Amino acid sequence: MKFKFLILSLILLLANCTSKTNTPEFIEKAAGRYYFNADEIIEVTFNEDNKLLVKWRKQNLEPLKVNDSSFYVRELNEKLIFNTTENKIELAEKREHEGEKFVFKKLKKGEKTPSEHLAEGNFEAALKGYKSIKEKDSLSPVIKERNLNKLGYQYLRKDEFENAINVFKINIELYPNSSNTYDSTGDAYAKMKDTIKAIEYYKKALAINPENSSSKRSLAKLTSESEE
């Protein structure tokens, strides 16, 4: 605790010794969107007083300026170091992540994450993005089957059917041997009242895993309803 207090005191002292105004050149180069991970964004903006602001995971953060390129984020207890020449942000080293280096690269103009493509209904671009992530890092949490499945059901609960179907189909592309991905797609079509498609996907789920109890129940229910 004393160590953190000393660090914060030092940061405050340095902040008082440096200019509080960000230069127009720094603002132009630093503002923009940075990859937090392969599918999440850190957004850097400046207010009317030229103060640097950070938006991350729906949090609006107001970092404290340490010097012309470094800013301390109280809420995260992290210092952001801007390298505007290489269009990236680095986290300052500290004991909590000693030996690890965290670098956030700036997105190019017009560049979007796979989930942003999904939100816009651009299936092909989203699929290409997720496949690219899997090729680079097959263990990335971003493309974990259960995480994508969760995202699909989030869309489904909001009745955003096209987005839900797109997510589930991307999951099928990434994990073609998973019975659960087909079962989830069947759930989406069932909620859309597309019985034929729902039955098709439940059968595909059972072809991979005949013991998939969810698909068994759903298929039996839809089959009996269609026979009435």
Domain range list for the chain: 2-105, 114-227
* CA separation for the pair 151, 142 (Å, rounded): 11
- Does domain 2-105 fall into CATH 2.40.128? yes
The predicted structure's pLDDT at residue 123: 93
Residue 21 is which amino acid?
Answer: T
Containing 24, the helix (H) or strand (E) segment is helix 24-30
Radius of gyration of the chain (CA): 23
Count Cβ atoms within 10 A of the Cβ of residue 72 and give its class: 0-12 exposed, 13-18 middle, 19 or more buried.
buried
pLDDT tens sequence across 97-119: 888 899 999 999 999 999 999 88
Query: Is the pLDDT assigned to residue 128 strictly greater than 80?
Result: yes
Q: 186 is written with which tokens?
A: 């069947």
- CATH number of the domain located at residue range(s) 114-227 in this protein: 1.25.40.10
pLDDT tens sequence across 149-179: 999 999 999 999 999 999 999 999 999 999 9
